[in-house]
Amino acid sequence: MNQETQVLAARDGLDRDWWRGAVIYQIYPRSFQDSDGDGVGDLAGIARRLDHVAALGADAIWISPFFTSPMKDFGYDVSDYCDVDPMFGTLADFDRVVARAHDLGLRVMIDLVLSHTSDRHPWFVESRASRDNPKADWYVWADPRPDGTPPNNWLSIFGGPAWQWDGRRRQYYLHNFLKEQPDLNLHSPAVQDALLDVARFWLQRGVDGFRLDTINFYFADKELRSNPPLPEALRNDSIAPMVNPYNHQEHLYDKNQPENLDFLRRLRAVMEPFNAAAVGEVGDAQRGLEIMAQYTAGDDLMQMCYSFDLLSKQRLTAARLVEVMAAFEAAAPDGWACWAYSNHDVERHISRWGLCDAAARAYATLLVCLRGSICLYQGEELGLPEAEIAFEDLQDPYGIEFWPEFKGRDGCRTPMVWQADNATGGFTTGKPWLPVPGAHLGRAAAVQAADPRGLMHHYRHALALRHAHPALAKGDQTGMAASGDVVCFRRAAAGETVFVAVNLGDAPAEIDAPQGERWQAIGADLGAVAPGPGGRIALAPWEVSLLVSRD
């Protein structure tokens, strides 16, 4: 029996819908746990700390890139898709992570970066060597305009033009991100085949799925047409900071191309025999929910996608949540979302929305009650605020480029704090690659484990509630409405209905309790309140009410 047959046999008969409603815990490997004292987290450190994730109640982990890389963008510039960068360990270390995760009942999803590679990837080295080599068309190359300027007006998310001149070919190549991250040309069938082989490699090693970086950037317009300007009134900072001219364009042609759907179907066909699932990152401030809906429609595309609607600086109010959910429902009633408040690319939501501890609890409870799968970012369960990083300590090229108006992503990427009795929070015995804020130490995992009132215990109770009620994990969602700061909705599945009411404001509120069924209060360990006399629910600031009715 070969390796692939063994993997498929082991997965045969497993829950085909395991991803639906799953809680996915994101691990940023540089900052999770260092095992060798060099100040950078690694795979051995991940294996050591997986008990924490399992105890929290997560269903899966998503590991950000650990592939061989020059680290210009901290692993999102891949120079070898099928090996581990030495700073993180070896393939054997990765296999141990997978084995340990599976022993703990955790599935493993890894971050695949398919839209671009490093400029040191052998594919690009060959492609740039001449215009007639076997990989000459594996990247997006274009002749200059007659005056020598780039072929169109496309801009890089990291600032400046999205085109870099290459003297060897006397052409420009496309880079939607850093110039060291040339964009692959997925219009080439050979490129698609090579990327599908990468997916097979990791599936055969035992991974259960993928987080797909910038999933809507895979294809650029074949004709390389320029983007039109975006009216100032429509610009926002969901994808790029307002100091970045990227927000001045309507991105019609540099991403979001219809050809992507056929490639995603090919990728789904590769994943399907392995019972694997994918969650795609939709990086678009203008059409995010629409694209998210397109990519998850039916049963032959991606299982899940997420947009930046809940990752934006605009605080998630009751009215805003109703608006987002209604837009997604209208676009793809059979689609499936993956919701998150924080990740490695945005300011942590505790700081972004200015949340007190009570508000953090309310938002955590709300998240586990929403229809869709959910992602938690490491340290979110500890209530870590955004770290203030001095300019001289910055590592992120994005922040260095736009400092001080935009400070980059280092503030959400500082090391995880495991204990409070040393300056590095138990992350490393050496000097951490980013400083550990002293303010984080009091929120360390060990501190909160000893405090029943700690936010970490709230997350454990919230995830347990989601697992205990099929309606919350996989059920339908109906009747979502906002009444002032209070959002109410129902989830229903498997003969049970759960009524959810969350006060997302700092003032008391009252609402009517649902009528017509026999309701029972649940969620007492989350601070949820029951209806009072007269069928009214009185909610203190940031308080919730959870009721269940069974057939």
Give the active site residues: 213, 281
Two structure tokens written together for 494: 């498997």
The full 3-state SS of 188-210, as one line of letters, equals: CHHHHHHHHHHHHHHHHCCCCEE
Helix or strand (DSSP H, E) at 101: helix 91-103
Q: How many CA atoms, within 13 angstroms, populate the side-chain half-sphere of residue 186?
A: 29
Compute CA distances 14 → 8, 155, 274, 296, whole Å.
Answer: 10, 45, 10, 22
Query: What DSSP state is assigned to residue 344?
Result: T
Q: What residues contact 42, with CB distance under 8 A and at least 6 apart?
A: 29, 33, 34, 35, 36, 87, 88, 89, 93
The rounded distance, in Å, linking the Cα atoms of 497 and 492 is: 4
Break the chain down into helix, strand, coil percent, rounded to 5. Answer: 30, 20, 50
Q: State how beta strands 536-539 and 509-512 pair.
A: antiparallel
* CA gap 495, 132 in Å, rounded: 63
Residues forming a β-bridge with 364: none
Distance separating alpha carbons of residues 363 and 306, to the nearest angstrom:
18
Q: What is the bridge-based pairing of β-strands 80-84 and 67-68?
A: antiparallel
